[in-house]
Amino acid sequence: MGLNVAILGATGLVGQKFIQLLEERKFSLSSLRLLASDRSKGRKLTFHGEEVKVEEASPSSFQGVNIALFSSGADVDRYFAPLAIQKGAVVIDNSSAFRMDESTPLVVPEVNPEDIKLHQGVIANPNCSTIQMVVALYPLHKLSPLTRIIVSTYQAVSGSGAPAVEELRRETELLNQGQTFTSQFYPHQIALSLIPQVDDFTPDGYTKEEWKMVDETRKIMHAPDIAISATCVRVPVVCGHSEAIWAEFSSPIEPDEARNILRFSPGVEVVDEPQKSIYPLPQLCEDKDAVLVGRIRKDFSSPTGLTMWVVADNLRKGAALNAIQIAEVMVGKGWI
């Protein structure tokens, strides 16, 4: 007997990826309920060749639901989570609403699957940029604990949702036509440019996105003392976040040793033949489960440092896939 699953935010980019992956991975379902705002009520989406009508989310929507996959934004998810829990559902939330709540596990299955057992109704899915970084670094951290991480991200516009994807396409077309325009979604032009701001700024000059990478990494790895600094940049790429990572460890790790470890690590694919111009690219990661890691080399500014280039599909592993993997662990371990 399969589970009853609901998707809140079913018509968004991540919600539609949930549907795709539940089908691809043959997740054992008895029923699938698609929920969204009143604007999307009545829209039909396809699952296993059949049309499923989108319902307007309400407090009664979660009756009989075992697992609720949430992706509607922090405020909406924060409102509906207690209602879903009251109906007996376990919520796997893709927003930032519960990530740093002390009673809520923040999980990447390749890193801390046992934390799932600690949930009190909600399991949080980390930020997309955090997920790919910890998947790449954790196997090395187990060999020689991390002491410091410096990361610069190059984040695709799909991380901001469908309106941002449309803005990039609109601006690119208008630029090709030689027309002037005013950016509507981002504070500046994104086509043929980049914006060194992802999310809002905090008083210390960092953005919320940058602090997410700091706080979430420490929580997931159970390593509160790792020194971490992040700079997050939005780039004119539709899908696939890229990261340049400088990592310092307790003791040196040779690049070849790191490659060998990562080749046999869950969720990682090593793409690292720089002499042949083979390294991770956003177009290589689209619709792939794995986090791609390449350009692994010594950091000559630090005796225990490595530098690497990490790319992943931000909608897939960075959001929907990670959440579904959490659900799969729960089912496989009998925790639901």
Residues marked as catalytic: 128, 241
Task: Please give the Cα distance from 144 to 62 (Å, whole number).
Answer: 44
Q: For the chain, first and last CA: distance in Å?
A: 13
Burial class (CB in 10 A: 0-12, 13-18, 19+), 197: middle
